[in-house]
A and B are shown apart, each in its own frame.
Chain A
Amino acid sequence: MDIGTTTQFAGLLRDHRDELLKRWTANAGTGLRGRLAEAELARQIRELYDALRGTVVTEGELTLDSPAAVELRAVLGELSRQRALHGFTATETAISVFALKEAVLGVLDAGESGSLRLFVAVSQFVDELGLFTFEAYSRTREALIAEQAEQLLELSTPVVKLWDGVVAVPLVGTLDSARAQVVMERLLQTLVDTGSPYAIIDITGVPAVDTQVAQHILKTVVAARLMGADCVISGIRPQIAQTIVALGIEFGDIVTKASLADALMHTLRAGGFELNRRAVRRD
């Protein structure tokens, strides 16, 4: 946008503040279908408007990269971030910016000379703002996804204490190298912290055991043994057992059980516990 058009745009923003704000907010509101409170939207648009005015009055070429646009960039970035965090779509976010075009068109005097040139220039600038919004939006979403993936990794690998001296890791879902590493670290640390001589690895929630998964489990068992703990693998369902046999995987002298209950019983017996059922009197 050249300096003449910028001055014209600045004048427009100065003279028609209330009208522009009203139209901009109304246009942005229809795209959001009432998912954002009207007062909140009005406040966001007002902030954007004031940042925009602060950018446009300054002398020189109008681009979003200029040092004068630093506040506008910050406001836009914050708006996109908030929308992304609150679950709005990218379109719903960008519409709030693009709605400015229609608002400007509404207040422009069609008869005035240079109004077409002004509108095209404003439109180009708004496109630039829109692209910036898209980028800020997707950056926030990507950060969110990365964070969630990390949380999921932590979430899905709890080590639970089943009995005094018996800890268990219930594995759920896909066991890739990253997760196997987390599982092993957690288990070994818990063995040290609790001084447990027994660990149970339950694979009921693992949909398929291929050679990679088996290798990860075997390595974990060997590491636990090196620390003096006995490992039991439980939750081996019939289809998993048949698959393991067909693949030719050998678990050697590692104790395996069909259910977690069997594994707990085994470790309790091995630990010297006696389990007796008391005779229940039925009257």
Chain B
Amino acid sequence: MALADSGGDVEALPITADEDVVRVRQLVRSRAVAAKLSLIDQTKLVTAASELARNTLVHGGGGRAEVSTVTNGRRNGIRVHFADDGPGIADLDLAMTDGYTSGTGMGLGLSGARRLVDEFDIDTGPGAGTRVTVTKWSR
């Protein structure tokens, strides 16, 4: 994480409605294609972004997403940052458990998203909102 440096080409999108989740997905996909991620990695990253964007919308009450191309000298990657000012997550371990949901979903979004990406970083607390940063590197 420390080695990676942002290319400076950050694109931000608001997440306030269902259509925005689709927009985030499309942006992440086009950036992943441009960074020459394999088809499997593209699909994994897009799916993770889709889960996290929906979490931002449903649990965080809306927020924003920032997509950037990063490099660590050898490889390119795509980093997506999600932020909301929602209620935050009180029990992170519980939230990261497969099958646990506070809503009506399958309870796999957050834990599944972590397995789909190479780097997963979450910063949250009760009343402090939630910020999730994920990175997927090209092989």
Main secondary structure, interface of A, reads helix
Which residues on the B side are within 8 Å of A214 (C-beta)? 106
- Contact partner of B105 (CB less than 8 A), chosen from A208, A211, A238, A242, is A211
Q: Mask for B32-52, Cβ within 8 A of A = 1, else 0?
A: 000000011011101100110
Which residues on the B side are within 8 Å of A209 (C-beta)? 47
Min CB distance B80 to A, Å, is 14
- Contact partner of B22 (CB less than 8 A), chosen from A174, A177, A248, A249, is A174
B116 touches A211 (CB 8 A): no
In the complex the two chains form, what is the Cα distance from A209 to B111 in whole Å? Answer: 16
In the complex the two chains form, what is the Cα distance from A248 to B99 in whole Å? Answer: 9
Min CB distance B107 to A, Å, is 8
Any chain A CB within 8 A of the CB of B89? no
Total B residues in contact with A, Cβ cutoff 8 Å: 24
Main secondary structure, interface of B, reads helix
Chain B residue, CB-CB nearest to A247: B112
B106 touches A208 (CB 8 A): no
Min CB distance B64 to A, Å, is 19
Min CB distance A224 to B, Å, is 19
Q: Mask for A32-48, Cβ within 8 A of B = 1, else 0?
A: 00000000000000000
In the complex the two chains form, what is the Cα distance from A242 to B42 in whole Å? Answer: 12
Which residues on the A side are within 8 Å of B112 (C-beta)? 211, 246-249
In the complex the two chains form, what is the Cα distance from A210 to B108 in whole Å? Answer: 9
B116 touches A246 (CB 8 A): yes
- Contact partner of A176 (CB less than 8 A), chosen from B18, B44, B113, is B18
Any chain B CB within 8 A of the CB of A30? no
B43 touches A239 (CB 8 A): yes
- Contact partner of A243 (CB less than 8 A), chosen from B25, B54, B106, B116, is B116
Any chain A CB within 8 A of the CB of B63? no
In the complex the two chains form, what is the Cα distance from A72 to B47 in whole Å? Answer: 54
In the complex the two chains form, what is the Cα distance from A32 to B11 in whole Å? Answer: 37
Task: Contacts A208-B25, A210-B50, A211-B51 given; indicate if A249 touches B106 (C-beta within 8 A).
Answer: yes
Task: Contacts A207-B46, A211-B51 given; indicate if A238 touches B109 (C-beta within 8 A).
Answer: no
Any chain A CB within 8 A of the CB of B115? yes
Any chain A CB within 8 A of the CB of B98? yes
In the complex the two chains form, what is the Cα distance from A239 to B109 in whole Å? Answer: 18
Task: Contacts A211-B109, A215-B105, A215-B106 given; indicate if A247 touches B116 (C-beta within 8 A).
Answer: yes
User: Which 3 residue pairs of A and B lie closest in terms of their CB atoms, listed nearest first?
Assistant: A247-B112, A239-B43, A210-B50
- Can you list 29 residue pairs at the A/B interface with Cβ under 8 Å? A176-B18, A176-B22, A207-B46, A208-B25, A208-B46, A208-B47, A210-B50, A210-B54, A210-B109, A211-B51, A211-B105, A211-B108, A212-B50, A212-B54, A215-B105, A238-B40, A239-B39, A239-B40, A239-B42, A243-B43, A243-B44, A243-B47, A246-B44, A246-B112, A247-B47, A247-B51, A247-B115, A248-B98, A249-B106
List 5 extra interface pairs beyond A240-B43, A242-B43, A247-B47, CB under 8 A. A207-B43, A208-B43, A246-B44, A246-B112, A248-B112
